[in-house]
Amino acid sequence: MISVIIPYYNPDGDTSADALLGRAVRSAVSNLEGLFPYEILVINDGSPSDPSLDGLNSTRIRYFRRPHGRLGAARNFGMDNASGDVLTFLDADDYYYPGSLAPCIMAMADTGADLLGFGMRKSVNMTGIDNPGKEEPVFEEPVSGNGYMSRHNLFGSACRYLISASLIKENGLRFMENAFIEDEEFTPRMVWLSRRFVNTSFPVYAYCIHPGTITTSSSRSRADEKAAHTLIALGHLVTFRDGHADEPHDGLDRKIDYLALDHLRRTLRRKEWKEVIGSQTEALSRMGLFPLQDKGYPRGFRLYSLLSRSRAGLYILHLAEKFYK
């Protein structure tokens, strides 16, 4: 059985949020109905009112309410209540492209993978469902999660995976709760623990970005909160890595180093970067992540590492980030 876990949070009772949730549910139903046993778990994470699920005719929709704990808590609740042997996460404002999940589910079964990653594309369509065009899926050969991570910059979103329930249960995998950037802490551990990871760039997931979310908000309080949670996530990953020091972890090292780089870049994009850069680099240094380590990574990483070691270099990087942004 396939369990699709959809967290839902609508504190303002916005009817458009209900419409987007309906679109997300319908996209999952249309991908699975008549092809695979499935269930859809909609987790209301503390919204004051219930969404309207009228017109969603599937009897396989299971609806839950829980106190607000942000995305990580809702996903943990979904994992605890899922019945499927394969799980996947879908955010309430996103959707699956038509006919995209079935080949991935079949490839996962055919290869014996415990984890399968698929393509994700940004979508600007906030009403209907775009069709990404005709494309045949090409699946890579199974590799260890560490092997994959050692050669690729891992994309953090937990929504772009089909996950064996046994991979989650046997390793006690959980998301950070009451936090932002929970994916960046969860996904690297999940992928590293995978022993048969299959990947494809075939587009399955449409990711919609809205103004005012944590990804787009430029307020100082949001930036401070995201910075604090990023450092917590990095600390968890370093502790996790150190707990597996006797196993190959060069792929996990790469993800940690690049997450440290991303944190430095976000800091340098802030208007008040001069006020906060010292505390952020000191926090990274305490974890052994600053100065940025050159471990044979691509030239861009090495250049950033070199420039970030001096005040003048940080100013140059700030100007570059301001232009890039």
User: pTM for the full model?
Assistant: 0.93
User: ω into residue 211 within 30 of 0, thus cis?
Assistant: no
At residue 218, the pLDDT reads 60
Which structure tokens are listed for 16? 């458009």
| Among the four given CATH numbers 3.40.980.10, 3.20.20.80, 3.90.550.10, 3.30.70.270, the one describing domain 2-208 | 3.90.550.10
Which of 56, 60, 70 is CA-nearest to residue 24? 56
* Bridge pairing between strands 197-208 and 115-123: parallel
**Domain-by-domain residue ranges, the chain?**
2-208, 220-324
pLDDT (tens place) for every residue of the chain, 325 residues total: 999 999 999 998 888 899 999 999 999 999 999 999 999 999 999 999 888 877 676 689 999 999 999 999 999 999 999 999 999 999 999 999 999 999 999 999 999 999 999 999 988 767 778 777 778 899 999 999 999 999 999 988 999 999 999 999 999 999 999 988 899 999 999 999 999 999 999 999 999 876 544 444 568 888 999 999 999 999 999 999 999 999 999 999 999 999 999 999 999 999 999 999 999 999 999 999 999 988 889 999 999 999 999 999 999 999 999 877 5
Amino acid 214: pLDDT: 43
pLDDT for 325 equals: 59
Residues 6+ apart with CB under 8 A from 62: 39, 40, 41, 42, 81
The per-residue pLDDT for 322 is 81
Distance of CA 259 to the CA centre of its chain: 13
CB 66 within 8 A of CB 45: yes
Other CB atoms within a 10 A radius of the CB of residue 181 amount to: 24
